Amino acid sequence: MTAPRTFGFPGANIKLPPMIALPMGAMLEIVRQDERFAIDAFGSHFPLAHLAPIAKKQPDFVSVAETLLGAPYLWGGKSSLGIDCSGLVQIALQAAGIASPRDSKVQETALGTATPLAGLRRGDLIFWKGHVAIARDNETIIHANAHHMMVAIEKAADAIARIKATGNDVTNVKRLV
């Protein structure tokens, strides 16, 4: 699934009430397809434009995270209906073919190599105790957070200062490539 979420319809008509809603990253077994829909064994019709073969990897995991901009914050969530910081990282990395643990503490240990905050660049992961954000560039980040109660983009310096004011300083910056 490449869209933030998609619907399965009971027939090849988007005006029918959907039977199911699936999140980004959901895997389907498709039994047949027509020119606009892929059909699973239960007869649900999913728009082909929202699907991709399992082997297809997104070239930029940061762009994947950006598709979830505005999704509400939900501790433990992993979909556009509700997502937390480590879920955002895991989903985005998964779409790019990069395995990621679920929890930010484990992600900090398992992913990438340490790099200085001063050299921040697109795709770097910034860690605090219990939180992770993705650098969009050397000035902005995207993260699911309880401050905004959603996936938000903000200046890295502002987020770092705000989080530091609560007693949590950056613990690590990790570069994946």
Which of the residues are catalytic? 85, 131, 143
Looking up tokens 């399965």 gives: 8
Q: Are 151 and 144 in contact (CB under 8 A)?
A: yes
Looking up tokens 């090849």 gives: 12
Host H or E run for residue 86: helix 85-95
Q: What are phi and psi of 159, to 5 degrees?
A: -65, -45
Residue 82: how many CB atoms within 10 A of its CB? 17
What own/partner pairs with CB < 8 Å and gap ≥ 24 does 161-168 have?
A: 163/128, 163/131, 168/128, 168/129, 168/130, 168/131
Q: Are 139 and 123 in contact (CB under 8 A)?
A: no
Q: Are 8 and 44 in contact (CB under 8 A)?
A: yes
Residues 6+ apart with CB under 8 A from 106: none
